[in-house]
Amino acid sequence: MAVAITVCLGSRKLCVAQVFVQRGVRRLLSAQVRETFLRFFERSGGHLRLPSSSVRPRGDPSLLFVNAGMNQFKPIFLGTVDPRSEMAQYRRVVNSQKCVRAGGKHNDLVDVGRDVYHHTFFEMLGNWSFGDYFKEEACSMAWELLTQVYGIPRDRLYVTYFGGDLSVGLEADDNCREIWLSLGVPAGHLLPFGMKENFWEMGETGPCGPCTEIHFDHVGGRNASALVNQDCPDVVEVWNLVFMQYNRERNGSLLPLPQHHVDTGMGLERLLTVLEGKRSNYDTDLFSPILTSIQQGSGAPPYRGLLGKTDTGHLDMAYRVVADHVRTLAVCIADGVYPGMSGSELVLRRILRRAVRFATEVLQAPPGFLANLVPTVAEILGPAYPELKQNTDRIMDIINENETAFLSSLQHGRRIIDRTLQQAPHAREFPVDVAWSLHRNLGFPLDLISLMLEEKSVGLNSAALDQLAEEEAQQQAENRQGLDADKGLLLDVHSLAELQRRTVPTTDDSPKYAYTLGADGRYVFSPCQATILMLYKDQSLQSEVPEGQRCGVILDQTNFYTEEGGQCHDKGYFIQTGQQDIMFPVEMVQKSGGYVVHEVVTLAPLHVGDQVQLFIDEAQRLACMVKHTATHLLNFALRRVLGEGTEQQGSHVAATRLRFDCIVKGPLRPQQLREVECVIQEAIAKDEEVYTAEVPLRLASNIQGLRMVDEIYPDPVRVVSVGVPVSSLLEPVSAAGTLTSVELCCGTHLLRTGAIQDLLITSQRQLVKEVARFVAITGEEAKQARETGQSLAAEVETISLQLKMGSSCIPDAHRLSKEVGVLTDAVDNTPIPQWLRKELQGTLKSLQRSANTAIRKLESKQVAQVAQSLLEKHGNKTLVVDTVSAQSASMLVKMANQLCEKSPGTSVMLLSLQDSGKVFCACQVAKTSTETLSAADWALAVCAEMGGNASGSNMVAKGTGSTTDLDTVLSSASTFAQTKL
C-alpha cells in the first residue's frame, strides 16, 4: 500500500514522495528521489537516460575506481571518442553513477565511520551537456529541480561561484553570478570562492573550469553564509555544477576549450538527508535497513548515531563502518572487482578486512555475519542496479571466503605481535617495519594494529607508518603514470578540434582488413596508397616537418592496425612516392577521435599532400591474426567446457602469445584444460571459415550466443563468427551462435581457422577470486611445447621407477632427490601443456615425499649405527670427542643427540670432514653439565680455531670450519671441555 511521507523543512511542510510498504518494510524514499532526478532531466531537459557504468574504470589506468560521474565520458571531454560510437552522438545525458572513493587522489576511507557523511561508495546524480547548453540552462534546471520539484526552501540554500584568481589570469565568473541573481538567489546567499573551492580540474592536465556549488543549511532561520565551505556539518554542499571551458596544458597554462561542457554531480546520500530532514546520511533509508540488519545479526546494542568521545567503545562508529563497507563490497564484487593483492583489488581487500575487524572486534558478530548483510544491500540498491540481485550469492561467497582467510591471518598476526614483544620485553615502541608488514602482507588495517598495541600498552610511531603508506601510494601513482608514459604522440583536445574545424576527414582504416588467401595458401597483404593530410609535432598541427624529427602522420587511409580491442598495433614502414630508397619506420600507431596517427622519425622532410605507400610487417600481423582468432576460440571453448558462468574480463593479443582473463569457479582441473584444448583443436582441424560483417549494434546485440565485454562499441559494429555466416546469425530464430564462437570485435582475424595449427594453454593462474588468467601459444611453438611435455613426462616416469626400486645408500638417495628437484623446476618453468604440468607437478610432489622419506630412513639407520659404534668405542665416558662420517650437519647433530640419549651423562662433540675440505661440527652437552659447559661456547671455540663460526644454545650447537690438522682440533676440543667440566 502507498503511504504519504511528510517532511518538515523549517516552517514549511512538504509531501516529497510516495513511499511504499511491502511485507512490513518501508519502500523506499531514496528510490523515489533518484527516479525523480532522472525523470526530471529526461522529460524537462530532453536528456538521454544512461545506466551507471561499472565501478571498474574502462580503459583508464590512472584510476583505481570510477570516482565521479564524468569518468565514463572522458573520451568526449578529451575529444578522443570514436565518431562511429553511440557516445559521439551524446549531447545531453543524465544518470545515477555508482562511485567509489577509496585509494588514489579521492580517498575517503579513513574518514568513514568517524563522521556521518563520508562514504567509500556513494551514488552520484548527474546531468551533462556536451557542447550543447551551458551555464544559464544548467543553473536554471538545477534551481527548478531543488526548489520546485523537491521543494527545498530557497532560504536554506547558498550558492558559491568562482571568484577569480588573477595570479593565473582568471577573472571572477560574473556571468554565473548574474545568472543566479536572475533566478532569485539573494545577493547575501551568493558567495565567491577561489581556485580550491570553485575551480574543478580533471587531473594534472586536461579539461577544467569554474564551478558553482549549491549548499544547504540544516538549521535554517539564520544567515549561514559565514559557515559555507567551513567544514561545518550543519551547512553542507549538495550539488556541484562544473563548467568545462578551459584545458590545463602540460606547461600548466590554461587555454579555452573549443567546445564548452557541463558536468554536474549531486550525492544522493546527502540529498536524501535534506529531503528527509535528517542530519546524518546513516539515518536515511539507504542505510537504516542495513543498520537494523547489523543489530539483528550481531546482537549488539542498537545504533544511536553517537560520535567521538560520546561513542563509548566505538560502537556506533563500527555500525557506520560496516554499513558503508558492505555496500562498497557488494557493488564492487558485482562489477567484477574482487579482493586481491594489487591496485583496486588490494584496496577492496583492505575495506573488507576493516569491516571484518569492526564486526568481530567491536560488534562481537559471529563469522559469516558480513556476507549476511548483502541481501539487505541488494534489496535497497537492486532496483537501480540489478547486477546486485543477480550476483547476490556470488558476492556472499566471496566475502565469506575472504573473511575466513582474514580471521586466520588475524590469529597469525597476533602471534607475530606477541613474539615481537617477547623478543624485546621492555620496548616502549613497536617496530614500524613489523607493523607495516602486518598491514601490507597480512592485510591488517592500521587502526587494528594500533588498537592491539594499545591494549598491550605499547606505542607505535604513527608518523613513520604514515610515511611508509605515503611512499607506497606514491609508488602506485608512479606505476600508473608508467602505464601512460609511452603513449606516443596522442592528439590533444585542441588539435582534434582544429582538425574538425578544418574539415580534415577522419582516417579510413578499413584497408587493414584488406587481405586475401593466395592460391598457395599464403596470406597476401597489399600495400596501401595514401595521402598525408596533416602532420603533428610538439602538440600542434604542422604542414611540413623537416628531416630528423619525431612526428605523427595523419593519412587519408591506412592499412595499419591501431592498438585497440586487446590487439597490439601493427609495425611496418612507408615510403614516399618517387623516393623508394627512403623508408620511414612506423614505431607506433594510435587512434584519437577517428584519426589514425602514425608515429615516425623523419628520415627526409614530409609535407601535407605527399603521396606515400604503406607496408605492414606481414609476419607480425599474421602472428597477431592467428593469436586473435585463437583467443576467440579459447573464449568459446571455456564456455563450452565450464558452462555459461564464464565471462571475459580482458585479453591481450601479441605476436608471441595470447592472454585471456575470465571469470571461472576456481582453478581448472587437468581434464578440463584438456577438454578446452580439444574443443579448439576440433575447430582448427575443420579449417572453418571465419566470417565478418558490419551490423547495426541493435541487431548484433540480439544474436544468440554473442560474447560481449564492457566496452563502448561503434555503430555499426563488426561481428566475427567462426563457421557460421553472420547473416544466418541475424535470423530471429537462429541459435547457431550458441554452438560456435561469435563476438563483437574490431581486430584482424584469420580467414580460416586451420592456420592456427595448434593451441596450447601454457599457464593458468588465479588473479583474484574467480578470475583466472590463461596464457596460450599457437602453431609450431605449441607443437614443440607438446613434444617437450612428452619428454618431461618420460623423465618423470623413469625417475619414478628408480625410486620404487629404492636406494641402498644415502648418496644415491640424495642424487634421486636432487633429480626430482631439477625435474620439478623444469616442469614449473618450461612451456608445456598446463594440464600436463598440473599432472606432473602432482606426481613430482609425491615423488619428492618418497625421496625424502627414503633419505630419512637411510639417515636414521646410519645415525643409529654410528651412535651404537661410538657407544661401544667410548663406553659411558662423560666426554666424547671424535670424528665420524656424515653427509650433512643435521645428521651430525642427530648422531650426537642419539649418543647422549643412550648415555645421558655424556657430553659429545663430533666432527665430520667433507670431500670439499669443509668440516662439520656438532655438540651436545649433558643436562647435568650445562651450568659449567655451554654447547654454543664450545662449538664456537672449536670452529673459530678452524676459521669458521658456530651458533646454538647451552645444550646443543653446530658450526663449520676448515682445517688440514683434524687431530689438533680434536685435542683442543677435548681440552676446552675438560677445563669446564
Q: Which residues are annotated as a binding site for Zn(2+)?
A: 628, 632, 745, 749
Q: Report the C-alpha gap between 127 and 149 in whole angstroms.
A: 16
Residue 133's SS3 state is coil
Query: Which amino acid would we find at residue 285?
Result: D
Can you tell me which residue has the cell 666424547? Answer: 880
Q: Please name which of 894, 905, 914 lies closest in space to residue 966, comparing C-alpha atoms.
A: 914
DSSP letter for each residue of 332-348: HHHTT----SSHHHHHH
Q: Give the end-to-end CA distance of the chain in Å, rounded to a whole number.
A: 95
- Listed in sequence order, the residues at least 6 apart from 317 whose beta carbon sits closer than 8 Å to its beta carbon are 113, 114, 307, 311, 358, 362
DSSP letter for each residue of 902-967: HSTT-EEEEEEE-TTSEEEEEEE--GGGTTT--HHHHHHHHHHHTT-EEEE-SSEEEEEEE-S-HH
**Angle, nearest 10°, between helix axes 392-423 and 374-381?**
130
CA distances for 336 relative to 27, 128, 212, 398, 840, angstroms: 28, 27, 35, 11, 33
Q: Quick one: CA torsion of 190, 32, 390, 395, rounded to 10 degrees?
A: 50
Q: Report the C-alpha gap between 745 and 60 in whole angstroms.
A: 20
CA distances for 725 relative to 579, 700, 738, angstroms: 44, 13, 13
Max CA distance (Å), the chain: 112
Q: Report the C-alpha gap between 133 and 260 in whole angstroms.
A: 8
Using the 8-state DSSP alphabet, how is residue 68 labeled?
S
Q: Report the C-alpha gap between 927 and 484 in whole angstroms.
A: 67
Residue 688's SS3 state is coil
Q: Please name which of 673, 680, 681, 592 lies closest in space to residue 637, comparing C-alpha atoms.
A: 680
DSSP letter for each residue of 489-551: SPPPHHHHHHHHHTTPPPPB-GGGG-EEE-TTS-EEE--EEEEEEEEEETTEEESEE-TT-EE
Cβ atoms of residues 588 and 488 within 8 Å: yes
Q: Report the C-alpha gap between 594 and 509 in whole angstroms.
A: 9
Query: Residue 632 is placed in which grid cell?
Result: 576467440
Exposed (0-12), middle (13-18) or buried (19+): which is 281, by Cβ within 10 Å? buried
Q: Report the C-alpha gap between 721 and 632 in whole angstroms.
A: 9
Cβ atoms of residues 979 and 957 within 8 Å: no
Tally of CA atoms within 13 A in the half-sphere of 25 that contains its CB: 13
3-state secondary structure 242-285: EEEEEEECCCCCEEEEEEEEEEEEEEHHHHHHHHHCCCCHHHCC
Q: Please name which of 730, 728, 666 lies closest in space to residue 702, comparing C-alpha atoms.
A: 730
Output the CA angle 807-813-814, nearest 5 degrees. 165
Instruction: Point out the annotated binding site.
Output: 628, 632, 745, 749
Output the CA angle 884-885-887, nearest 5 degrees. 135
CA distances for 147 relative to 14, 46, 561, 908, angstroms: 11, 20, 53, 93
Give 817-820's long-range contacts (Cβ < 8 A, gap of 24+): 817/848, 817/851, 817/852, 817/854, 817/855, 820/844, 820/847, 820/848, 820/851
CA distances for 739 relative to 330, 417, 426, 637, 936, angstroms: 33, 57, 71, 10, 73
